[in-house]
Structure 1
Amino acid sequence: MRLFGTNGIREVVGPTLTPEFTTRLANAIAGTIPVGKPVVVGWDGRTSSRALSSIVSSTLALAGHHVIEVGLLPTPAIQYMVVRLAAQLGVVITASHNPPEFNGFKCIHSDGLEIPRSAEEEIERRFADAPSSAVPYRSVGEIGVHGGGAREYVHGVLARVDATRISARAYTVVLDVGNGTAAVTSPDLLRRLGCRVVTLNGHVDGTFPGRPSEPTEANVADLRRAVPSVGADLGIAHDGDADRAVFVERSGRYVPGEEILALLARDAVRRHGGGIVVTPVTAPDSVEEAVRPLGGEVVYTRVGSPNVTRAMLARHAVIGGEENGGLVFPEFQLARDGAMTVAVVLDRMAREGQPLDVLLAGLPHHTLLKEKIPCPLDRREETVRAFAERFGPGAERVVTIDGVKIYHPGGWVLLRPSGTEPLLRLFTDSKDPKRARELADEALVAVRASIGT
């Protein structure tokens, strides 16, 4: 039984994600580690997260584990605390950027990385077989609380950048928290970096009343208007669990995540005199064009932060990340980290003495288009196969790391099943915006015809 997608487990609360499901999952997780080991539990601000965390903590304690609740925190902060508290495992209750009716679970290894697929499979086996992990009454574990996680995490981020240099610039920043967990860390981080902070959607609310949780260009329209309106140097937006950050230039232009990835990858490769950059197959060719002249090499993976971080660990990468704003800085931790991304971007601006738009102007530029196509779960794989059969013959190159990526003259098109929703995700990339649009339109017609929509 497959439970885990590209980034943990995500289900709709009520129909699928029930108290019974949660208890059974927590029992399965509990049985994968030795009795008596410490386990960190943290959660996001969704309406169901606190209740689900209580079920998880109680089930783990009844299995004999010592539970340390770190509370409502960004996912990367919880990963950071797993290592600091020397826990055997971490459980994060979050559905990241999914709509508010969803919630889910991520499991964190003792090294702070999301658990590998082999560990996910063990949990899935135990979930299916449902052996009890409960222990006798004398062996029941305790549930403790550690309340300093937000402060410790912010201090950890600050230690990786030149806070004095950034503070000297006295930047004005508009921060769109998106009613997510960044509310407990990012405003404090920015103020400690000497920024004047104007906040939007700055309180935690699991219904996401201010905007949808995913910080796409359309969803952060208020931020794009606010940045030039207040004369800010930069705009920042997070997703629901703050493992991603996207940016808005002083003019109000939304910066696609792949541009930040290319900028910071080039900087990391330059500082290291070369090195490996890890990114999923969804990244545009501009990342490779940015780092190759400096001795950088791009290693491509399947989509999903566990795939990226595990490949980074194996290849000793200097940086990694996805085109959606989820970047990984191995010198801090092998986790997608929105706050660390914010600090590094400000550090780069302060070091160069240039605004973000000027820093981005020197990068290779591609147009990366993204489309979501609703598709029943049982039709996704056959639709991808049909797409490959139609567009693969005669292509310059076909890559099947994740879905199918087909290179045509002047660009490429990628179709893959979503790992978190009943969708197909379509990506097209080209130096020519018109060519990118042509590839996307042609692919959309074919995919919708195949599905019957």
Structure 2
Amino acid sequence: MTLIKNISGFRGTIGGNNLENLTPYDIVTSISAFSRLIKENNPNLSSLTVMTGRDGRKSGKMIQSIVNSTFNSMGINVIDTGLSTTPTICWGVLNNYSVGGLMITASHNPEEYNGLKFFNSDGEFLSKEDVSKLIRYSESKKHIFSSNNSLGSISEYNRLIDDHVNAILDLDILPLEEIKKLKLSVSVDAINSGGAIAIPKLLERLSIKYNIINSEIEGVFNHTPEPLAENLIDLSKSIQVNKSDFGIAVDPDVDRLVFFDEKGEILGEEYTQVFCSDFVLSKNKGDTVSTLSSSNALKDLTISYGQNYHSTPVGEMNVVKKMKEVDSIVGGEGGGGIIYPELHYGRDALVGIALFLSLLVDKKCKVSELKSKYSRYYMKKIKLTLKDSKLIDRTFNLISENYSELSPNKEDGVRIDFDDAWVHMRKSNTEPIIRIFAEAKSQDIANKYALKIEKEIKSIIS
């Protein structure tokens, strides 16, 4: 596939031609570019240190070796945390002397993909301005490397996940003793990656019994890693067989989270943010932030607390920027990403699990009864593979013109709000596809609008 470079990082398939895939050449030029950016952003520091980590992909260890060596060749020291999670790296950068972070992951993409997620000194995704510079620098044919006397060093640190879990358990909002008294049992799908290390550490500290499937970290994912119902059939079975109180699924870098009830039914990744936000809003009043593709259920919940809801273009960086602007107390993305700024400004499945457990303390009900306590919406999601990405802008402009009387939102692709539904179509940040989201009060209506827009897009690009 084409090497994708944008606000979500750099991502591609392993091997093949350089400049077209994620090859050693592309890794070196990308890290050299990031090093240049780091030096520009920290002109007064004589010693520079970054943190690196990786998910469980087969290519991860190889890539981390190249990444670390390239940082060293640019005169930057590295703290190598080995197998980790994206939120762990983000929290770690924020809470030590690092000036940046690099997570080697392709998130929910299949195992033949890998990628580079770049973080600033606050452990947050780079700004649009810095991403533009990074892309430009990575495409340069000239990079200035350090002399022998100025090479960086590599040190290993294997307790960062423990530190991250400790920080979560130190949050004032969590009713730790009450969670322990619930005496819960859960089933977890760790998708053969960092979640297999991190989630048990958290659950054990909360006295929760657990059964983990796909816990082996051997470079192979036992199913398509995106945490969707069709990929999590084995988790559903595990919940029923083990008579678990609920189920947990994450993606390979543990920034997306979805829950299942005790019957083995998925609650939907759109509701992860709703559940966690409900607990936060019940303790502290403030605004919430999510994306244009997120469910209206969070908006309804926020309004029910007398607070303001804000939407942004898709992308963690966009959500965090708005959260800071409005001093939001909780935010995230509809794809199962929760951001709790008291810990750090990044999607974090581990803190999401802790907030969900806290909600169960307050609600005193079975997980299967939770969803009925919130606005009920149904969503239809469609992916359209791109043959020519140059047609996207023209396609979206034509769609927007066709529905001009509804004043479409064009901040991120096109979002159209109908009387009984909304549809959002946008180019993916992580794959060469168009994503179509439709939401309504019934599945039939959501399906109708999604399929209608899909048909219109196909007629334009065919």
- Shorter-normalised TM-score: what interval? over 0.9
What is the alpha-carbon distance in structure 1 between the residues aligned to residue 428 and residue 452 of structure 2? 20
SS at match of 2:38: coil
Instruction: Name the structure 1 match of 2:459.
Output: 449
Instruction: Name the structure 2 match of 1:56.
Output: 67
Instruction: Name the structure 2 match of 1:198.
Output: 211
Identify the match of residue 386 of structure 1 among 390, 398, 409. 398
What is the alpha-carbon distance in structure 2 between the residues aligned to residue 268 and residue 147 of structure 1? 31
Q: What one-letter code is carried by the residue in structure 2 that aligns with 1:450?
A: I
Aligned-pair distance for 1:234? 0.7
Identify the match of residue 357 of structure 2 among 337, 346, 362. 346
Alignment of structure 1 residues 213-228 onto 2, 5 Å: 213-228=225-240
- Contact map agreement 1:246 1:255 (CA 8 A) in 2: yes
Instruction: Name the structure 1 match of 2:43.
Output: none
Identify the match of residue 274 of structure 2 among 256, 259, 262. 262
Alignment of structure 1 residues 17-416 onto 2, 5 Å: 17-34=22-39, 36-160=47-171, 161-208=174-221, 210-273=222-285, 275-376=286-387, 377-390=389-402, 392-395=403-406, 397-416=407-426
What is the alpha-carbon distance in structure 1 between the residues aligned to residue 401 and residue 220 of structure 2? 42
- Contact map agreement 1:28 1:130 (CA 8 A) in 2: no
What is the alpha-carbon distance in structure 1 between the residues aligned to residue 218 and residue 325 of structure 2? 38
- Contact map agreement 1:368 1:429 (CA 8 A) in 2: yes
- Contact map agreement 2:294 2:335 (CA 8 A) in 1: no
SS at match of 1:179: coil
Instruction: Name the structure 2 match of 1:417.
Output: 427
Aligned-pair distance for 1:3? 5.6
Aligned-pair distance for 1:207? 2.5
What is the alpha-carbon distance in structure 1 between the residues aligned to residue 202 and residue 52 of structure 2? 23
- Contact map agreement 1:410 1:432 (CA 8 A) in 2: no
What is the alpha-carbon distance in structure 1 between the residues aligned to residue 8 and residue 88 of structure 2? 16
What is the alpha-carbon distance in structure 2 between the residues aligned to residue 320 and residue 40 of structure 1? 25
- Contact map agreement 1:6 1:420 (CA 8 A) in 2: no
Q: What one-letter code is carried by the residue in structure 2 that aligns with 1:345?
A: F
- Contact map agreement 2:11 2:106 (CA 8 A) in 1: yes
Deviations 1:249-292 (A, max 9, x none): 1111111122222233233233223x211101001222211111
What is the alpha-carbon distance in structure 2 between the residues aligned to residue 132 and residue 7 of structure 1? 23
Aligned-pair distance for 1:168? 1.2
Aligned-pair distance for 1:433? 2.5
Question: Could you tell which deviates more after superposition, 108-117 or 234-243?
Answer: 108-117
SS at match of 1:335: coil
Question: Could you tell which deviates more after superposition, 156-165 or 178-187?
Answer: 156-165
- Contact map agreement 2:194 2:253 (CA 8 A) in 1: yes
- Contact map agreement 1:269 1:295 (CA 8 A) in 2: no
Question: Could you tell which deviates more after superposition, 214-223 or 290-299?
Answer: 290-299
SS at match of 2:405: coil
Question: Could you tell which deviates more after superposition, 152-161 or 236-245?
Answer: 152-161
- Contact map agreement 1:39 1:88 (CA 8 A) in 2: yes
Instruction: Name the structure 1 match of 2:42.
Output: none
What is the alpha-carbon distance in structure 2 between the residues aligned to residue 33 and residue 393 of structure 1? 44
Aligned-pair distance for 1:113? 1.0
- Contact map agreement 1:234 1:248 (CA 8 A) in 2: yes
Relative to the length of structure 2, the TM-score reads: 0.93
Q: What one-letter code is carried by the residue in structure 1 that aligns with 2:434?
A: L
- The RMSD of aligned alpha carbons is 1.7
Aligned-pair distance for 1:311? 1.8
SS at match of 2:237: helix
- TM-aligned CA distance change 1:301 to 1:205, over 3 Å: farther
- Contact map agreement 2:227 2:249 (CA 8 A) in 1: yes
Stretches of structure 1 that go unaligned for 5 or more consecutive residues are: none
Aligned-pair distance for 1:97? 0.6
Instruction: Name the structure 2 match of 1:4.
Output: 5
What is the alpha-carbon distance in structure 2 between the residues aligned to residue 325 and residue 367 of structure 1? 15
- Contact map agreement 1:65 1:141 (CA 8 A) in 2: yes
Question: Could you tell which deviates more after superposition, 154-163 or 174-183?
Answer: 154-163
Relative to the length of structure 1, the TM-score reads: 0.95
What is the alpha-carbon distance in structure 1 between the residues aligned to residue 130 and residue 337 of structure 2? 23
